[in-house]
Chains A and B, each alone.
Chain A
Amino acid sequence: MSTTTATPPAAPVTKAQPGKVTQLRVLNSEWIKLRTLRSTPITLLVAVVIMVGLGMLITWAHASHGGGPNGHSDPVNGAELSLALYFLAQLAIGVLGVLIVSGEYSTGMIRASLSAVPKRLPVLWAKALVYAAVVLVLMTAASLAAFYGGQAILSSYGEAVKISDPGAARVVFGTGLYLTVVGVLGVGLGALIRNGAGAIATLVGLLIIVPGLSHLLPSSWSPHIVPYLPSNAGGALLNVVPDSTLMSPWSGFALFVGYAVALLLIAGVLLKRRDA
């Protein structure tokens, strides 16, 4: 604060600290909002339990039944195996991203938020940034825990990999990055569609159902479409040995980030133009 002078009592209207709205203050506001809803820790806990707990369980099940007659013809890399549950965890992360925005529309909170920040865009940027930071930290930690937990199980079967093995570190940290982008996609879809159910359905369709349907495409089309679907592009980062039918790991991830940023920008334009 600047120097305080005695306020003249004659002034008809006294103003409490005339503080400007800044992006940093809006970030702080969104951070308060995020941590003061019960759904936040619950959903994030679910994501961690899926990643670490369920991930280790699957790793154990896979390894312990791997060598016998029912064994897998297709050997799975230990790093990929221990992190395979990112596929389920992305639902929790994406859904919470949607709810951060759609929850404000369904409750009417958005009118309070946009009255406080009438320029509007800082609210969207802050929501995306705060959530991305939280997801990045938490899911990178969960990925490391799932990796080391998984390798501890695999070591008794002699199948453990080390983080220094080629591609392993990229997959471990890539999982945290991938989930962060999913979180931002959720925020973008929430802001774009504003209705929670609609945005969640779109998210699930985009990340899970559409790639699953891609085998229906004529085989001559597939190479031109399949690698560029959002979750396939982002998922390229998560293969220890790059998949030749997909984009290269980092360019695929860059495209995935591009989708999320584009979605957020479109949502921003609409947020600015639509009536709240």
Chain B
Amino acid sequence: MIVASNLTKRYGDKTAVDDLSFTIKPGIVTGFLGPNGAGKSTTMRMIMGLDTPTSGSVTVNGRPYAEHAAPLHEVGALLEAKAIHTGRSARNHLLALAATTGIGARRVDEVIDLVGLHEVARKRAGGFSLGMGQRLGIASALLGDPATVLLDEPVNGLDPEGILWIRNLLKGLAAEGRTVFVSSHLMSEMALTAEHLIVVGRGKLIADTSVAEFTRSASRNIVRVRSPHADRLRGLLLGPDVTVDSPEPGTLEVTGLDSDRIGTLAAEHGVTLFELAPQQASLEEAFMELTRDAVEYHATTTVAGSVA
């Protein structure tokens, strides 16, 4: 259980996290979604007590992280892929972290096997690929068998097999009753992994909703209709809560009526239809729509050649 209340972090005059309040419940995977620079990593660092909030507070399992006597057993975190000394081997890195809380070598070897780093456990971490670094970070997060797991962009740098592995791992951890909080800037990834979503943009909370609800509200049900009698059809369809756009002659985009209803109406009035196609906005589009105003870095310039 993670509870943030009015969490705010300012760096100089830049507000990275702005009055963020949310509750992350155990037993499910909660996705933390937002464009780059939305304040996800800063929020996670504040949860782990690495950054001090400018105002507001955040607790894990009832108290600030730093006040837990056995922190590694409360929260396991993957904050940055390589929070690892490059000169130390993976196994020694884990042994050193484990020693702080009295965890022995057996558990260290257990998590190494769990993340599939057995072959390279005695090699210097500096030579690790991004994906291996992620796996080592996940191993250190799981060392203390924590009740809460916090992962910042865990799928970065992983191959498809690794992504599938993470997905199942996270779901498994949640099924065991743990609190699982995972950040990502990829809506599609979260749709497959998470049950609940916290969406942020420019440090502000944009949505705190279940994935199912988000998907439902996201897919604005537009029906695309092509007809030689488009103008006549428009008159038939229009009504309260129904809008009809015409992006090009002979084509209508109808919002507020489903395709069954439109087809029936057309048949009743003898209007010929060439096309009747429900359009679903993809989750990615819905996410972009939602966070459009909150994107920190817009690509505003186009390639010069294409403008000319």
Residues of A within 8 A of B (CB): 12-21, 25-26, 28-30, 32-33, 36-39, 103-104, 107-120, 273, 275-276
Contacts and interface: CB of A to CB of B under 8 A. Distances in A.
Given A13-B176, A29-B100, A107-B82, A116 B72 contact: yes
A39 B88 CA distance: 10
A26 B100 contact: yes
Interface residues of B, number: 45
A39 B126 CA distance: 14
Given A111-B79, A275-B52, A18 B70 contact: yes
B278 interface: no
B110 to A, nearest CB: 9
A75 B73 CA distance: 64
B97 A29 contact: yes
Contact of A29 (B65, B79, B99, B177): B99
Contact of A14 (B65, B69, B80, B145): B145
A117 B50 contact: no
Interface string B89-100: 100110111011
Contacts of B84: 107-109, 112
A33 B96 contact: yes
B50 A115 contact: yes
Interface of B: 26-27, 45, 48-52, 65-66, 68-73, 77, 79-80, 82-89, 92-93, 95-97, 99-103, 107, 140, 144-145, 147, 176-178
Given A20-B69, A118-B66, 20 more contacts: A13-B177, A17-B102, A18-B70, A19-B70, A21-B69, A33-B85, A33-B96, A39-B87, A107-B83, A107-B84, A108-B83, A111-B48, A115-B49, A115-B71, A115-B72, A116-B72, A273-B52, A275-B45, A275-B51, A275-B52
Contact of B97 (A19, A103, A112, A118): A112
B100 A116 contact: yes
B102 A107 contact: no
Contacts of B144: 15-16
A194 B52 CA distance: 18
A69 to B, nearest CB: 52
A72 to B, nearest CB: 44
**Most A-side CB within 10 Å, residue of B26, B88, B178:** B88
Given A15-B73, A118-B48, A36 B96 contact: yes
Given A37-B87, A115-B50, A32 B176 contact: no
B102 A25 contact: yes
B7 to A, nearest CB: 14
14 contacts: A14-B176, A15-B147, A16-B103, A19-B102, A20-B102, A21-B71, A21-B100, A32-B92, A37-B85, A108-B82, A108-B83, A112-B93, A118-B66, A275-B52
Contacts of B96: 29-30, 32-33, 36
Nearest to B124: A38
A12 B61 CA distance: 14
Nearest to A29: B99
B151 to A, nearest CB: 13
A116 B66 CA distance: 9
Contacts of A30: 96
B101 A25 contact: yes
A112 B133 CA distance: 13
B80 A108 contact: yes
A250 B190 CA distance: 65
